[in-house]
Amino acid sequence: MAKHLEVEIKRLNKRILDIGDIVVEAIHKALTGLQDRDPNLAREVLDLDRRIDRAEVEVEEECLKVLALHQPVAEDLRFIAAVMKINNDLERMGDEAVNISEHAIFLGKSDPIPVPTRLHDMAVASMRMVKESLESFVNGDNQSARRICIEDDIVDEYNREVIDEVWKMMKSNPATIERGSHLFSVSRHLERIADHATNIAEDVVYMVEGKIIRHRAESYSHQKDSTS
Amino acid sequence: MAKHLEVEIKRLNKRILDIGDIVVEAIHKALTGLQDRDPNLAREVLDLDRRIDRAEVEVEEECLKVLALHQPVAEDLRFIAAVMKINNDLERMGDEAVNISEHAIFLGKSDPIPVPTRLHDMAVASMRMVKESLESFVNGDNQSARRICIEDDIVDEYNREVIDEVWKMMKSNPATIERGSHLFSVSRHLERIADHATNIAEDVVYMVEGKIIRHRAESYSHQKDSTS
């Protein structure tokens, strides 16, 4: 690999990890803001998202520059293609964290209702998936990446449990319907964050194995967004 | 532009338009299946989605081949980068159509509830946005693309109206809560389809103007997923 290209690839690796850290912080703050009914945290999530947005634009421009200047082939080309897609998924995770914050702000202004503990579990699992998917990316570890695709099923299961719990609350007390539907939304945004982490893991498998595992049901039992 | 590269670019243009046609058909069938309570249409959507998935994998592999073989620069490079992203958005739209069908199947088996007419309007607007965004892509028409970014606000407004209508139904008759939440989901999947069309339009603006308009609030008043 040409020296310059090697430097660029290291730099892009680092940038993706940095964005990942901000994304995890945003998810954490969004959920804490919901649980603690703290609107200041929601505002912090908005600031973090702006940083993610700026970083995404910069990384995309860097990728195009690398493609134009170094004209990478084979695995280097697959690496750049993966960075472009991962970058996009991270940016959308930031948007999902903002969406969660918006629901947190609404719920913080309303009479309190119980927040299902499974929402917390979903957030923890999603943050873990984001971290692990990015680690598998920088380490080129396709085995870990394949495990992450399976972890997504756990988040889907939690999502079903949240939906059941909130439905019961709504049915027993129709006054909670509006607030309950905000909890549904939070759950679905967390589920989408896990979906994006799964996309990243799939990109890692492709990058390492040169094989597209998306849409191949036999490779793992993940099915996108089937319950929401 | 080298002759071979020109041929490849024309071929990719055509393929993207073909996938777009299947996506529009899938959205149309998903909504008709919901309105007509017809599970056969849901199965057809699944078949269409499989075709979209296969086409996505092929287009991505073609893009990587073009990058490796022809090493395009400047506008050709931006074109290939745009194809890769648009391809991804189209694939996700197919997933959203499948999600709508799953809710349609559930609702088709349950006692009927009124389907808000605004859901139909959302589907029509989303399909129009998909078509227009792809037309703006093949024509390199950044002005149309900018208009599509604004159209997304209309879909968001329809989404709010659907939510209001369904909430009212749920409150006046708690027996409809579970079925109503499926309508919420349909609405949100349509909204996400419109978001993906907006992503495509943004990619067209970038491709034509070499300028990233995502995250730049001043360029248009679109805000992603703010109401769901």
pLDDT tens track for A65-74: 898 889 888 8
Q: Which residues of B are less than 8 Å from A217 in CB distance? A: none
Q: How far apart are CA A150 and CA A157, in angstroms?
A: 12
B47 touches chain A (CB under 8 A): no
The enclosing H or E element of A48 equals helix A39-70
Among B residues 138-167, those touching chain A with beta carbons less than 8 Å apart: 163, 167
pLDDT tens track for A174-227: 899 999 999 999 999 999 999 999 999 998 998 888 766 666 544 443 334 333
Tokens of A67: 């493609």
| One-letter amino acid for residue B143 of the chain | Q
The enclosing H or E element of A7 equals helix A3-36
Query: Which residue of A75, A102, A103, A225 to mutate against B (max B Cβ within 10 Å)?
Result: A225
Q: Which residues of A are less than 8 Å from B226 in CB distance? A: 99, 102
CB B145 within 8 A of CB B209: no
- Determine the pLDDT at residue A211: 65
Q: Which residues of B are less than 8 Å from A215 in CB distance? A: 50, 53-54, 56-57
A73 touches chain B (CB under 8 A): yes
Give me the torsion for CA of B127, B13, B60, A52, rounded to 10°: -60
**Structural domains in chain B plus CATH codes:** 3-219 (1.20.58.220)
CA distance A85 to chain B (A): 8
- Determine the pLDDT at residue B75: 86
- Determine the pLDDT at residue A212: 63
Q: Which residues of B are less than 8 Å from A64 in CB distance? A: 77-78, 81
Query: Which residue of A95, A166, A183 to mutate against B (max B Cβ within 10 Å)?
Result: A95
pLDDT tens track for A99-119: 999 999 999 999 999 999 999
pTM of the model: 0.83
A114 touches chain B (CB under 8 A): no
CA distance A126 to chain B (A): 20
